Chain A
Amino acid sequence: MTEQNSLTEQLEQVKNRVNKVLELAKELGADGAEVAMSRTQGLSVGTRLGEVENVEFTNDGALGITVYQGGRKGSASTADLSENALKQTVQAAVNIAKYTSVDDCSGLADKELLAMNPQDLDLHHPKVLSTEQAIELAKACENEALSFDKRITNSDGATLDSFEGFKVYGNSHGQLVGYPSSRHSLSCVAIASDGDEMQRDYAYSVNRDFDLLDNGEDIGRQAAKEVLSRLNAQKLPTGKVPVMFRADVANSIFGHFIAAISGGNLYRKSSFLMDALGSQVFPKFLTIEERPHLKKALASSAFDSEGVITQDRNIITAGVLDTYLLTSYSARKLGLTTTGHAGGIHNWLVSSNGGDFDAMLKKLGTGLLVTELMGQGVNVLTGDYSRGAAGFWVENGEIAYPVAEITIAGTLQNIFKGLVAIGSDVDLRGSIRTGSLIIEEMQVAGN
């Protein structure tokens, strides 16, 4: 409890400091300013082959300021939070604003859109954890992986992270808000070998609330099962096949969608979804809802990084694009209003029509199940998609054998339109909550 108090006290002190920095910016001639300050503290412990490998004490703080002066903008940041450094930082931002250009679209978010009294989203669940306890948890997790099968011959260890911190944001519209949060995770990387072949894979759990993390032994066992299932992988013959993305990689498809409807890419004419608002982008069965205020959720926030209030909204309704993802700047460039997406999206809930994982495999029938993607061969301007992949060949709804060293390619336009089903096997560990996806057909390159 004492740690929690000290963090809450720190948060109040930082609010005062942010206010002072804003005043200083005004004194130095800024006609608008915004300041963000964050602090993270915690512990990261790694074990490998049953021994402690790393004990790291995290303690990060940073302050960033942006000033506006006659339509010009300047930014500066510092990790040194001494009074002197803060002064220098504000001065640096003001100096830079002398050299940038007048930009009618720049400036603070409009005052009426700001979250002046943001709601509490229950994101702060610090855990008082001794180094010894953390070590024991990581050891138990890794030990389960190591003892699972004799083909688990090595390990890249288990890692337990437990962090808490806060964010404070203030601006010259009189907004001064902040909230504490926590994040805990436990992960394990197992290595298996069979003859000359060696493979690695991992499993993890992450939560705002330490007590809601998956059991460490389960994570270790999961890592072992994942890596064992990859042994003796084959290539596939080159050809066009139906493809299923397992839930933990399916979110990447929506990640590319996010890039394509982000204001920055739209006003730069750098997206294949320019002018797609109100049009059919996905099949009719698909709906994506954004829910920024889910209690304890990893991607919850009451306001975005410009202080704009976040709200529930549909991104996709029956396959039709309902909104772009805008910041104040990109909205002004496009003649629209910000959607509160400065800094990224908030929890997305993707609808499901396909049943659980096994039902999805049955739906896939015969085709490729992708469980890993490699590389960044995705062009959001043209929609061209080409990535390395690994996973399993599926025959008649059953996993037949592991595959590796193949690529899958197509266009995002066809991937979105060719979406056949989404499973109910939702992965809750990220900002995009989706089940597995089945795409009608993609080009596989292998042998």
Chain B
Amino acid sequence: MTSVIDQSVEQELIGDSGLDRDFLNKTLNSIYQNKVDLADLYFQSSQHESWMLEDGIVKEGSYNIERGVGVRVISGEKTGFSYSDDISALSLTKAADAAKGIADSGQSARVQIFTPQKGISAYQAIEPLSSLSQEQKITLMHEVEAHARATDKRVQQVIVSLSGVYEKILVAASDGTYATDIRPLVRLNCSVLVEENGKRERGGSGGGARTDYSYFFELVSGKARYLSYAEEAVRQALVNLVAIASPAGVLPVVLGPGWPGVLLHEAVGHGLEGDFNRKGSSAFSGKIGQKVASEHCTIVDDGTMANRRGSLNIDDEGTPGQYNVLIEKGILKGYMQDKHNAALMGVKPTGNGRRESYAHLPMPRMTNTYMLAGEHDPQDIIKSVKKGIYAPNFSGGQVDITSGKFVFTSSEAYLIENGEITSPIKGATLIGSGPEAMKNVSMVGNDLKLDAGVGVCGKDGQSVPVGVGQPTLKIDEMTIGGTQ
């Protein structure tokens, strides 16, 4: 029965502080009474390292440790929350006392007996930080720089950053949840400055996954990932060096595969998070079963993908990671939920309850959000556009979930003229309304791709790693924020 719990995590997060399951159960019992719907304890420890190489020297290195416990009590729509960076019987009791203040006192009730739960196996329980020696990490960064400089002589400057996270969590809740997870995460990035005839531009590329540093040495199409990041950064910078002004106004837009899926993250993803829909504050509120996108669009949020940056064996409430269909052939199927919002809306949690750390409250958040492949050859999609833009890379986006208005900013884009990709154009912000933009998706490619593992999503001041993806797709009309 206990084999599904990682003993080492349990030992480190509670055992080493003199706590055990009985004590957690007693603590939950002390705050659980008939007016309380859910109480949970979230123990977390993380080790994080980061390295930065610039101008040929390793300039920065840092190592950060975090460790603590959060106590949450939910009564109806109310949430009480307290946390401590000290894991001990005393601090846990104090935090529990503070958090339970929100619930009107009622009769005491008994919490469920802990049922150790097994998550899915989207990634392995590995410690990534020591998967390379310090010397090997330094060598890796130097090699990325050397490769970037060797790729083109216009490269003037290279910045390489490498980071790794080793996180362990344990969740215990009044509904009987008892679960642990070990979450590795690594990331490598290369940023270059190129210069020609006094004109300078930057380009950047990188990737990462929930695995160890050996990921960067794996071959993709015959080339090691860390070398391809260097080449891609240089390529993007050189494209921007010759970019002309971007057009201003309404045009058809073809988005490339992979990272441009940030479109889905902003245009529909946030608007389908359970909290906004429970409160009726999203442009998608109350629209389950309705057509909210063109019939070409099937969009999922998938926490189960192997080793992906946004994947979760269990979410931060102990619910196993899931594959959730959000929109199927244009029809809205469901929202992403944590336990609190799911209970209030009378549905099941979907494995989307996430928090930045023990010091933050969980909320419904995305994992890996992407659109399924369609039937078109990407070349045919581009050929179908007389005058428009093709945008294969973006720097980020933002959405107002209530009005549905969203933006995302291209970092690499081209004009399409008479069905051909022609001049590169400068980065520009694209703006639209989520529901309208999705109804204007008229062609979807057969080339589904996920991003390289670089996404960070911010909501209410909390950052979590996420993934996005999509095939090449065409939106018939979007407003392009250029200067011409």
Contact = CB atoms under 8 A, between A and B. Distances in A.
Asked if A and B bind, the verdict is yes
Interface of A: 48, 51-61, 73-82, 85, 88-89, 92-93, 95-103, 106, 131, 154, 156, 191, 197-200, 230, 235, 238, 268-270, 374-377, 379, 381-382, 384, 386-388, 390, 404-411, 443-447
Contacts of B99: 55, 57
Contact of A57 (B61, B81, B159, B409): B81
Contact of B58 (A89, A100, A198, A405): A100
A85 B17 CA distance: 14
A102 to B, nearest CB: 8
A68 to B, nearest CB: 12
Given A89-B65, A445-B479, A59 B407 contact: no
B402 A198 contact: yes
Nearest to A157: B279
Contacts of B137: 99
A357 B74 CA distance: 45
Contacts of A409: 246, 248, 428-429, 481-483
A414 to B, nearest CB: 10
A390 B429 CA distance: 14
B252 to A, nearest CB: 15
Contacts of B84: 59
Given A103-B57, A377-B409, A156 B63 contact: no
Given A80-B67, A445-B249, A99 B134 contact: yes
B405 A390 contact: yes
Given A73-B60, A99-B58, A406-B431, 12 more contacts: A52-B102, A55-B99, A75-B63, A76-B63, A93-B63, A200-B400, A377-B428, A377-B481, A384-B427, A404-B405, A407-B481, A447-B250
A191 B402 contact: yes
Nearest to B484: A443
Given A79-B68, A374-B405, A375-B398, A405 B479 contact: yes
A28 to B, nearest CB: 14
B177 interface: no
Contact of A55 (B59, B102, B248, B427): B102
Contacts of A410: 483
Contacts of A405: 405, 431-433, 479
Contacts of B85: 59-61, 79-81
A96 to B, nearest CB: 4
A278 to B, nearest CB: 20
A103 to B, nearest CB: 6
B201 interface: yes
CB-CB nearest 8 A-B residue pairs: A407-B481, A101-B57, A388-B407, A375-B407, A75-B62, A377-B429, A96-B61, A445-B248
Interface string B225-256: 00000000000000000000010111000000
The winner among A381, A384, A446 for most chain B CB atoms within 10 A is: A384
Nearest to B61: A96
The winner among B77, B95, B98, B479 for most chain A CB atoms within 10 A is: B479
B14 to A, nearest CB: 15
Q: How large is the interface on B (under 10, 10 to 19, 20 to 34, 35 or more residues)?
A: 35 or more
Nearest to A72: B58
A391 to B, nearest CB: 13
B427 A56 contact: no
A348 B74 CA distance: 43
A191 B59 contact: no
The winner among B57, B249, B428, B429 for most chain A CB atoms within 10 A is: B429
A48 B250 CA distance: 39
Given A191-B402, A198-B402, A381-B202, A388 B431 contact: yes
Contact of B98 (A57, A197, A270, A445): A57
Contacts of B280: 154
Contacts of B459: none
A360 B436 CA distance: 35
13 contacts: A52-B78, A73-B61, A76-B62, A80-B67, A101-B58, A103-B59, A156-B279, A156-B281, A200-B400, A375-B408, A386-B246, A386-B427, A388-B481
Contact of B409 (A191, A238, A375): A375
Interface in B429-443: 429-433
Contact of B81 (A55, A199, A406): A55
A77 B63 CA distance: 6
Interface string B376-414: 000000000000000000011110101101111100000
B22 interface: no
Nearest to B275: A156
B101 A55 contact: yes
Contacts of B432: 405
B80 interface: yes
B66 interface: yes
A57 to B, nearest CB: 4
A198 B57 contact: no
Nearest to A196: B283
B133 to A, nearest CB: 10
B3 interface: no
Contacts of A230: 403
A191 B65 CA distance: 40
B18 to A, nearest CB: 14
B65 A85 contact: yes
B218 interface: no
A387 B481 contact: yes
B359 interface: yes
Nearest to B399: A374
Given A131-B101, A376-B395, A409-B248, A51 B63 contact: no
Contacts of B135: 99
A53 B79 contact: yes
A268 B405 CA distance: 35
Nearest to A267: B55
A447 B397 CA distance: 21
A74 B51 CA distance: 10
